[in-house]
Structure 1
Amino acid sequence: MKKLLCLFTVALLAFTSCSKDDNDSPNPASSILVKKITDIDIDGSSATRSYVYNGNKIVSITDEDSSILKYTYTGDFISKIEEIDKKGDLAVTTEYSYTNGKLTNEIEKTPNGTYYFKTKYTHNADGTVSYDNFRGTVATGVEQEYGATGKYTFKDGNFVKLEVSYYGNESSYVYEYDTKNYPFKNVTGLNLLLDDETTANNVVKETSTSGSGANIGTTVTTYAYKYDVNNYPTEKIKTYPSGSSTASKTTQITY
């Protein structure tokens, strides 16, 4: 943030004093960014991802196998993410476009692919966001509906429900949150992408329902956290159904 400078006019033997307020004084919390995440499975195996930024804009995420996600911005909007495999080859490119500051199109391409895959988002008057998936032919640009349709419902900066329809199969996901800071809340533009990053807080419970009639199944996944002094999570424990019992996965977060 900008720092106020006291300007002294010596010739006039006068000065303008600097005043401090909460809006203009530096706010270290706005610079808190994830540097490393380590996922630890129930068998003790682990995988680490490293994060690089330019200011508050994310530049890349590197897995320990050397595969990379590279981010490109247009202004303050994420316009492209490139997936680079561990051999250094481009595997997938996802491009994003916006209208009036809101995500409207997401296009996924593979090098030399016959098709590309597009998700179109519609921002509804009630605050929900609907989406439709399409497949397009690279050579002709002809598109047809392909895959799922659905709708996101938001509350207090978090998406609290996701409804999905996939060729007649209906699913819904309901999310509950804490009131603490989401690890990536300070990353420029990330909250505009409609995925797991579109949150302000941390999910503590996920209830998924799928099927129809007598064949409806429900699964509940819970999350527990440890927080630092700034109310950012440093550890997340995910507990989920596994057969007739439950299993867990631990994520450690370094800022």
Structure 2
Amino acid sequence: MKNFFLIFSFLFLLSCSKDDDKNTTSVVTDAGGTVVQSTVLPKKIIVESKYAPSTLIFDYDGKKIKQCVVVGYNKEVYTYDGDNIVRKEVLLTDNTLLNKHEYKYINNKLEYYLAVIYNTPSGNITNKTVFTYNADNSISYVTYRVKYNGDLDPLCNGKLFFLNENLIKHEINDSSSTRTLEYSYDDKNNPFKNILGFDKLLSFEDSDYVSKNNIVEYKSTFKSNYNN
């Protein structure tokens, strides 16, 4: 659907947009026809970029996203179980499957996900990321490479820190380095906040979905773990 870093450049513009053609409204009524909920969902996003302009088209079933098409490039297709997204598949325009995420929940929280990348020079690659929910409202995780025999080989670990329903810091550690990502936000609603299940997706490329507001500033620091 998007590159993780590219999304930063247009989230703020989208949240301020007054163009009704770019949004769709889902209205929920009770048995008597009284409106009990009205939700704005992004329908179309135009990314204006000198190097990679693109148009994203969203399709819904109520508040559930069915797919997002990046016109001329690829599409993401979503599958739900109840209110939770359990699968995301990325396909090229000829329907060649590029990658797939499968999400597993426990107590309505993301327990782990499997990410499969297809047709690499090394064959298909599967990673598994397992989450732990901490008492201080942070979330820790470990990512493993899943070997062909099913064994797990640790790749990296990290920690997500939240404040006021926004992801404010992401620490990533592997054998060679430590990387810290820090985010600042505006006070406007994230345009993806009303898509059912998006706020539970904690994979790196989906991490902007979990925040209530829009990222306006992003800082990355890197530290090598090797001694000079």
TM-score category (smaller protein): 0.7 to 0.9
Amino acid at match of 2:137: G
Does residue 26 of structure 1 match 2:41? no
Cα-to-partner distance string for 1:12-57 (whole Å, 9 max, x where unaligned): xxxxxxxxxxxx74343x2x111111111136x6211111010000
Separation in 1, partners of 2:129, 2:80: 19
Q: Which of 110, 129, 135 matches 2:139?
A: 129
Cα-to-partner distance string for 1:119-173 (whole Å, 9 max, x where unaligned): 11111111100111101123x2111112x21100011111111111122311111
Q: Which of 180, 184, 191 matches 2:188?
A: 180
Task: Select the structure of larger CA radius of gyration.
Answer: 1
Q: Which of 152, 157, 162 matches 2:170?
A: 162
After TM superposition, give the deviation of residue 111 of structure 1 in Å: 4.7
Query: Measured at CA, do residues 4 and 116 of structure 1 come closer, stay the same or move farther in structure 2, by a change above 3 Å?
Result: closer
Structure 1 equivalent of residue 54 of structure 2: 47
Separation in 1, partners of 2:102, 2:49: 32
Structure number with higher helix proportion: 2
Structure 1 residues 83-98: aligned runs within 5 Å: 83-98=90-105
Does residue 205 of structure 1 match 2:217? yes
Query: Larger deviation: 102-111 or 204-213?
Result: 204-213
Contact kept? 2:29, 2:37, Cα under 8 Å: no
Query: Measured at CA, do residues 211 and 36 of structure 1 come closer, stay the same or move farther in structure 2, by a change above 3 Å?
Result: same
Does residue 109 of structure 1 match 2:119? no
Separation in 1, partners of 2:73, 2:170: 33
Alignment length, in residue pairs?
A: 191
Structure 2 equivalent of residue 227 of structure 1: none
TM-score, normalised to structure 2, is: 0.77
Amino acid at match of 1:108: A
Separation in 2, partners of 1:121, 1:129: 7
Does residue 72 of structure 1 match 2:79? yes
Matched-pair identity in %: 31
Does residue 3 of structure 1 match 2:30? yes
Amino acid at match of 2:30: K
Structure 1 equivalent of residue 157 of structure 2: 149
Amino acid at match of 1:176: S
Amino acid at match of 2:159: K
